[in-house]
Amino acid sequence: MTIDEKISQLQCYNPKDKNGPNLEHDFPNGVGAVAFLAAAWDDSKETVAGKLRSYQEIVMKKSRLGIPALFHIEGLTGVLMPEATSFPTGIGRGAAWDMALEKRAGKVIGQEMSAVGIKHALAPVLDVSRDARFGRYGECYSEDPTLVSALGAAYVEGIQNSGTDESYNVMATSKHFVGYQAGQGGIHAAATNLPERELQEIFGKPFQAAIAKSNLRSVMNHYGAVDGEPMAGSRRLLQELLRKEMKFDGLLVSDYASLEELHSRMGVCENKTDAAKLSLEVGFDMEFPTPNVYTEELKVQIQKGKINSLLLDQAVSRVLTEKFELGLFEEPFPKSEEVINQTFNDIESKKVSLTYARESMTLLKNNGILPVNPSGKKIAVIGHLATSVRSLFGGYSYMSVLELAMGGRNTMAGIETVQEKAWKYQEKESYPGSIVDVEFPHLEKTANKCYDHCNNILEELKKQCSDAEIRYSYGYPYVGSDETGHDAALDLAQESDVTIVTVGGKYGWGTSCSTGEGIDSSSINLPPCQERFLEKLGKAGIEFIVVHLDGRPISSDAADKYASAIIEAWNPGEFGSQAIVETIIGVNNPSGKLPVTVAYSSAQAPLYYNHGRGSSYHVGTQSPFTSYIDLPHTPRYYFGHGLSYTSFKYSDLSLSKIEVNGYEKLKIELAIENTGDCKGTEVVQLYINDPISTVIRPERELVGFGRISLAPQEKKKIIFEFHISQLAFLDREMRWKVESGLINVMLGSSCNDIRLKGKFTIKSDEFVTSETREFYSHANCI
């Protein structure tokens, strides 16, 4: 291959960038990749497939060797295109604690992508989320590295092995390496100052797990800096940690425009040429979404000897290897129209989505009002979100892109998609008390057209509760301080037998959203218009049920004090309304558990359960104050919390050994009994505590979990297979060490609701490597 042909394999074409390079004229040797986010603006799956075919034909015709392009698209909540199956957001799927279901979701997403010819998914997000101010909080599974590792590895396995007979079919991309959501101030792309031990043990663990357990084939960097070094230019983290220690041998691709930012934003490179040199040296194989540093100038610098040509060869070799392994040369185009229709209309795919929506429902509070028997009742439904199909979808969803396309200012990094033509016909009006732009007036009509099978919550209540009298009042918007609708909503509530109040924000892209990429917040609480309304309901003595939808969990003093029940529904996807209503009336017994710790206030951030001994809300000093002077140190809701309509008894804990070596496995067995009068599912959580160690270890840490479904009065055993190497940590010399000593075992329904305790002893120190240790324990029910 010529140098020009090699450089072309590192480049990417972005059809959505009308001011960028033209595929016909500016890529004479073809192109390595196509950023196919433009598919989200198309009107059907057939249009997407047709455009991909036409682009691919151009690329292969221009390439002397007929090398096809690798098309990529987002896949966090489903394929980012029309007619694709949608799933709950990452945090909602984290609340389900279901590895098997996550693998099935990954498989569905991979099959739909592959059907239209897309072979590269920009998912999953393996960030560990500890700060709810961060706008992208909802993309992540959890604050816990074990839960993120388990779900992330399951997704990668599902999507990559989604071909016939589970063959390699679509390349997953885990992002954002590494420590992205620990940015200062909870601000997108801000610097991250993480100690090396925490960076590797906590934030690096999910990436290592996906590499070691699921053969992850692609990694994407983040926009920030770590310890004064831009992640996009870090030899230490991208070469030493990712490539050498973690043994990653797949593609390293740039987050959008991040290589250019080495010069333009970070200022560590004098110009784009220097940025290109550094990018190759740290191992970037492809620049997304358009050539900014991997340009013709790269050829000049190689010919002058200023850039080592072997670096180019290494990158090209990795790109071509993945294309061959994916079968892209044999099958570069979409599948037949018949296969596309069968894939996108697969009933089983929709069942996975519905199951996920149901499992994500998390009951935070219930004084006995739930489940509701709606028969003959007058039911008041209040809040803008009750009539919004859009509210069921979060960021990186097809629905959020549709909204952006209708008119608004983009907040997605690295993409220029300002819809000036649409925007100029809208007044730039904001909600009172907020800078968030008023929602586009025809948004719901568009949502109903795209998801004609998808009801909003009010419609679904009327459908499932046909013998109830259901009335609605707007009440308030999803952001700001507007209370003009409060009186009418209060009057309706006072006239009703049951009051359902929908609260929360809007999670997505663009300036009409209250959370999302580039949309961070100094407050994690409900907006004033909603908090004040809940106070008014409570002071009027009205019982009410809260349903919360957003990219971060509910944190509300008024809901805590006055609500009779709180359902955290996240952004549950296309079957969200069905799952919500089924949960309200008892058809679905909620089994969701919080995958994050919920703070009272953003002033507590970052707040997480697995802090080090002698820290956070276990600080344990001799101070007379065990709290802030104006807030508790402790959370509003603990990690792992989630109620059920039934009750569970834990018993009969046994360990297969009480003394083990660091390389052994330990079986931990217990019995779970449903002691209530309805079927239910419990998520059993296995925690350990290392009470004495040479470096400070977490006060407690999750090492395994298992879902178990039980009929009333049914009792089953659950057995955890626990590898002692999971307990490896970086010692004083930064070696992965399983340290001898006593280990406490705890099993419970949350990190703060421990039902059973045991202990064992590790007999001697053992040393392991980063990639050979285990990352999570498997649970089996018998």
Residue of 125, 143, 147, 206 whose CA lies nearest to 517: 125
Confidence of residue 440 (pLDDT cuts 50, 70, 90): confident
- Is 361-589 CATH 3.75.10.20? no
> Which residue ranges make up each domain of the chain?
3-343, 361-589, 648-781
CATH architecture label of 3-343: Alpha-Beta Barrel (3.20)
Residues 6+ apart with CB under 8 A from 173: 72, 120, 121, 122, 123, 218, 219, 220, 251, 253
**Section 422-447 average pLDDT:** 80
Phi-psi region of 262 (alpha: psi -120 to 50; beta: other; left: phi over 0): alpha
For domain 648-781, which CATH number applies: 1.10.10.10, 2.60.120.920, 1.25.40.10, 2.60.40.10? 2.60.40.10
pLDDT digits 0-9 by tens, 387-421: 999 999 999 999 999 888 776 565 555 555 444 44
Range with the poorest average pLDDT among 160-164, 391-395, 759-763? 160-164
Q: Cα separation of 522 and 135, whole Å?
A: 10
Residue of 726, 577, 753 whose CA lies nearest to 149: 726
Q: Cα separation of 480 and 568, whole Å?
A: 21
Residue 569 has pLDDT above 50, yes or no: yes
Residue indicated by tokens 């970037």: 284
**What is the predicted pLDDT for the residue at 166?**
87
**What is the predicted pLDDT for the residue at 19?**
86
Q: Cα separation of 454 and 670, whole Å?
A: 41
pLDDT digits 0-9 by tens, 341-363: 999 999 999 999 999 999 999 99
Q: Cα separation of 288 and 299, whole Å?
A: 19
Across the beta sheet with 469-473, what order do the strands follow?
362-366, 565-568, 545-549, 498-504, 378-382, 469-473
**What is the predicted pLDDT for the residue at 623?**
80
Q: Cα separation of 394 and 125, whole Å?
A: 14
Find the farthest-apart pair of alpha carbons in the chain and give their distance in angstroms, rounded. Answer: 83
Confidence of residue 18 (pLDDT cuts 50, 70, 90): confident
**Section 70-75 average pLDDT:** 98
Terminal Cα distance for the chain, rounded: 58
Pairing type for strands 766-767 and 12-13 reads unpaired
**Section 285-289 average pLDDT:** 98
Residues 6+ apart with CB under 8 A from 70: 32, 33, 34, 119, 120, 171, 319, 322, 323, 326, 328
**What is the predicted pLDDT for the residue at 428?**
67
Q: Cα separation of 555 and 503, whole Å?
A: 11
**Section 477-502 average pLDDT:** 99
Residue 434 has pLDDT above 90, yes or no: yes
CA angle 207, 208, 210 (to 5 degrees): 65
